[in-house]
Amino acid sequence: MSNRALSSEELTQILRQLRQGEEEMRTRYALSRAMSREPIRQWIRDVQMLLFPHCMMAESGLAAAPPLERAEELLWRLTALIHQAIDHRCDVNGLCPEIAKAEETARAFFLTLPTIQHEAMTDAEAAYEGDPAAKGLTEIISTYPGFYATLVYRLAHRLVTLGVPLLPRMMTEIAHSETGIDIHPGAQIGLYFFIDHGTGVVIGETTEIGDRVTLYQGVTLGALNIPHDQDGRLIRGTKRHPTIEHDVVIYSEATILGGNTVIGHGSVIGGNVWLTESVPPFSKVTTKSTIALRTRQDSAT
């Protein structure tokens, strides 16, 4: 292998090829602008402080500002994030016409913050009632990964309903990277939702979850198959993930797949169960376990 360094001409040729490759992809798939994760991550943390100031430790200088000033700052930062997520071609020397749309969307989001806070409080209450190890709501709000992932989902889902692209998915992927819990922002989740432990939980885009549902670690609510049209192209926008009705408990490592799969209310799905078809209300689904006594001879081998 040669140890010769690449020449300027070779590097220039490589860079030209890379630009051409991305330009071809951009033309074909209409690539949007990239966004940095860190400003989004910090905005999430500061919104947590706004929603639960007595339960969260201050992680930025913004926490020292008066509440009104903090809210105005967060509104401005959200406007900037939404504007960045919107596909636009602004004139750097003039005011972008899309900024007004971003401002309007950010204001609409902020009007829903009391509702999001209420939804999150029901999740905290569900965690407290469902986990005997919990010592109080402050512990849940400030430390439980399931609560954090669900809160980020609720913030991101509201942005999805307002038509914001890219940003909601980046928010839930930040929570995914921090907790191991993967909730698509397009899913629909009811009140009093509790994810216990949580690592490995996957909730797909078209999942529908009712009120008072509990999931344990490793649960997958996924797609059974991906539909294609007659030309072999992916069909988007169909319901691919299951519906979980009210008052359902799903234990660890259970897998429930398919857009037509409905788990009836009041059901219990045991650990390691694999389901691809519906079950009626008040069902109890388990895998069979065999228990056999070992002989002294078995113990010696």
Domain coordinates in residue numbering, the chain: 36-179, 187-288
CATH 2.160.10.10 fits 187-288, yes or no: yes
Token representation of residue 161: 């309903």
93 pLDDT exceeds 60?
Answer: no
Q: Residues for the chain: how many in total?
A: 301
Give pLDDT tens digits for 207-219. 999 999 999 999 9
* Dist. CA 102–CA 269, nearest whole Å: 43
Buried b (16+ CB within 10 A) or exposed e, 103-133: bebbeebbebbeebeebbbbbbebbbeebee
Q: Are 79 and 99 in contact (CB under 8 A)?
A: yes
Residue range 36-179, CATH number:
1.10.3130.10
Report how far apart, in Å, the C-alpha atoms of 119 and of each of 81, 114, 124, 193, 209 are.
Answer: 24, 9, 9, 9, 14
Reported as a single tens digit per residue, the pLDDT across 146-187 is: 999 999 999 999 999 999 999 999 999 999 999 999 999 999
Number of H helices, E strands in the chain: 9, 14
pTM as predicted: 0.85
DSSP 166: S
Supply the pLDDT for residue 62: 61
**Other CB atoms within 10 Å distance of the CB of residue 244:** 27
Specify whether the CB–CB gap between 255 and 274 falls below 8 A.
Answer: yes
Which of 87 and 256 is assigned the larger pLDDT?
256
Residue bearing the bigger pLDDT, 136 or 28: 136
Contact 245, 265 (CB under 8 A): yes
Q: Is the pLDDT of residue 92 over 60?
A: no
Starting at the earlier edge strand, list the strands of the sheet with 202-203. 182-183, 202-203, 220-222, 255-257, 274-275
Contact 248, 283 (CB under 8 A): no
pLDDT at 60: 60
List, for residues 19-68, the tens digit of each pLDDT value.
888 788 777 766 667 788 999 999 999 999 999 987 766 666 566 666 78
